[in-house]
Amino acid sequence: MKKLFFLSLIFLTVQAYGQKFEGLAKTPPMGWNSWNHFACNVSEDLIKGIADAMVESGMKDAGYEYVVIDDCWHGERDEDGFIQPHPERFPSGMRALADYIHSLGLKFGIYSCAGYKTCAGYPGSRGYEYQDALQYARWGVDYLKYDWCYTEGLNAEGAFMTIRDALYEAGRPIVLSICEWGNNNPWDWGKDVGHLWRTTGDIHLCWDCEYDHGTWSAWGFLKILDMHEQLRKYNGPDHWNDADMLQVGNGMDVNMDRAHFSMWAMLATPLMAGNDVRNMTQETVDILTNEEVIAVNQDPLGIQAFKYDRIGTADIWVKPMENDELAAAFLNRAEFPMEFEFNWEEHIFIDEIFEKEFSFSGTTYNIRDLWAKEDIGTTNVVKSIKVPANDIVMYRLHK
Ligand code: GAL
């Protein structure tokens, strides 16, 4: 009896530490993050306005859930060491802001850093992990993005485990977004630590550029896509490869935005809008709220697409989905349009990692064009596929 008591005590102790909150991100998280568009210009008025616009624009109905304040919300620590928001930017405090966001049926996200400062130089969590986690729980935070600046001497896996354990101890289920830019192979250890991990340096607002910051680079949409490709075996429910926030609506051409959004959906990576959702063109709204494309991203299997082949300048990507369905995307990387005949019956899509096979010679699939929003026939008819310059054609195939 005594032995049993001690054994269960050990079990409970092991349970209380060393784990993440399971099941908080069974499909890729969807929401909005301030960094790509606003950088350090964050305030409670902005965040409330964004949350309102997420409801009014239809984004909430389309599935966007988290409103995440990235860097620069911080003020000082109080005399007991508890972090406080910037008094001028967030005069009503974080609890009030969280309550407001929750009252709209949305969830509240915040940002901190494993180092002693955040990347923008505000107080980081190093040495304050348990206290910060407690503060976030008291505020009603639902999502924490945790960054990797000023971390000299720290081991990445250990540092992220510390904040994981601190969040668990604080008792409020909080999604943990690991952000160390893929530097320490987070795909090898992140599954038990957080719910998503960034795979690369920051996304830059361009189609295919590298933007050199000196000690690190930011990357255009295609560059991140290509770097992400090899990581598909690590992706899955509750543990996602994070290709970074969306740049849709921030200034690229609409065709590029469409391609970028489609491929983030195909990758089964988080869909965190990064634009000013209070002022969107109709084209941007139509991209961000295309529910059929979002459904591909949110498919319960959570399988990241694989690159099947290239025809001319078009990469063909395939994403296996529930009920033996699949999505197929034809991404034209070039600055000129292209057109080709595609005889489905000559192709077999084989996914060796997730053990799926789609053969079109014996089975006929119906094809739904997800941007034209129309059914365009079946796979036993040879079709000509036209992809405009720097654009995409995306289909959902079902029997
Ligand atoms: C970077 C991070 C960005 C953003 C920024 C804030 O390290 O990758 O997404 O959070 O810090 O300073």
pLDDT at 151: 98
Rounded average pLDDT over 167-184 = 98
Share of the chain above pLDDT 90, in %: 95
Ligand 1 atom closest to the Cα of residue 147 is 7
CA of 24 to the centre of ligand 1 (A): 23
158: tokens are 């250990």
Catalytic residue among 70, 71, 132, 147: 147
Nearest to 237 by CA among 272, 271, 191: 191
Count, residues in the chain: 399
pLDDT at 24 over 70: yes
Helix (H, G, I), strand (E, B) or coil at 32: strand
The residue from 70, 71, 142, 202 that is catalytic is 202
User: Strands of 66-68's sheet, edge to edge?
Assistant: 240-242, 196-198, 175-178, 143-147, 107-113, 66-68, 30-33, 271-273
Centre of ligand 1 to C-alpha 272, Å, is: 14
Yes or no: say if 244 and 200 are a contact pair by the CB < 8 Å rule.
yes
Assess whether 52 carries a catalytic annotation: no
Question: Is the CA virtual torsion 17, 20, 24, 29 positive or negative?
Answer: positive
Instruction: Report residue 171 as tokens.
Output: 């008792």
Q: What is the pLDDT of residue 383?
A: 87
Closest-CA residue, ligand 1 atom 3, reads 202
**147 has catalytic annotation:** yes
Query: Dihedrals φ, ψ of 60, to 5°?
Result: -60, -45
Report d(CA 274, CA 103) in Å as an integer.
22
Distance CA 332, CA 218 (A): 22
pLDDT digits (tens, 9 = 90+) for 260-313: 999 999 999 999 999 999 999 999 999 999 999 999 999 999 999 999 999 999
> In one letter, which amino acid is 81?
G
- List, in order, residues 6 or more apart from 368 with CB less than 8 Å away: 292, 374, 375, 376, 395, 396, 397, 398
144 lines ligand 1 (CB under 6 A): no
Quick check: CB of 132 below 6 Å from ligand 1?
A: no
Q: Out of 36, 42, 70, give the residue to mutate to test ligand 1, the one with the largest number of ligand atoms within 8 Å of its CB.
A: 70
Please answer whether residues 136 and 170 qualify as being in contact, where contact means their C-beta atoms are separated by less than 8 angstroms: yes
Is 120 near ligand 1, meaning CB less than 6 Å away? yes
pLDDT score recorded for residue 18? 76
What is the band of 17 on the pLDDT scale with cuts at 50, 70, 90? low
pLDDT score, position 139 = 98
What is the Å distance from ligand 1's center to 277 Cα?
Answer: 20
- The CA distance from 114 to 125, in Å, is 6
**Radius of gyration over every alpha carbon of the chain, rounded to an integer in angstroms:** 22
Query: How far, rounded to the nearest angstrom, does the alpha carbon of residue 283 sit from its chain's CA centroid?
Result: 21
Q: What is the Å distance from ligand 1's center to 384 Cα? A: 42
Residue 202 Cβ < 6 Å to ligand 1: yes
Does the pLDDT value for residue 5 go beyond 60?
A: no
Average pLDDT (313-330) is: 98
Which atom of ligand 1 is nearest to 149's Cα?
Answer: 7
Question: Per residue in 179-205, pLDDT tens?
Answer: 999 999 999 999 999 999 999 999 999
Q: Is the pLDDT of residue 4 over 60?
A: no
Backbone angles phi, psi at 99, to 5 degrees: -60, -40
**Domains along the sequence of the chain with CATH:** 17-297 (3.20.20.70), 306-398 (2.60.40.1180)
pLDDT above 60 for 15: no
* Predicted confidence (pLDDT) at residue 14 exceeds the cutoff of 90: no
Contact 107, 142 (CB under 8 A): yes
> What is the mean predicted confidence (pLDDT) over 44-60?
98
Token pair 């910037």 is found at 86
pLDDT at site 6: 54
The whole-number pLDDT of residue 339 equals 97
Higher pLDDT: 124 or 2? It is 124
* Mean pLDDT score, 59-68: 98
| 101 Cβ below 6 A of ligand 1 | no
pLDDT band at 2 (very low <50, low <70, confident <90, very high): low
**204-to-71, 152, 272, 288 alpha-carbon distances in Å:** 17, 26, 15, 18
Q: What is the pLDDT of residue 346?
A: 96
Query: Read out DSSP for 348-378?
Result: EEEETTTTEEEETTT---EEEETTTTEEEEE
| pLDDT tens-place string over residues 226-255 | 999 999 999 999 999 999 999 999 999 999
* pLDDT at site 3: 58
Shortest CA distance to 160 belongs to which of 183, 140, 137? 183
CA 202, CA 213: separation in Å to the nearest integer?
11
**Rounded-to-integer distance, Cα 102 and Cα 391, Å:** 37
- Ligand 1 atom closest to the Cα of residue 244 is 9
- Region of poorest pLDDT, from 13-22, 109-118, 136-145, 247-256: 13-22
Mean pLDDT of 27-47: 98
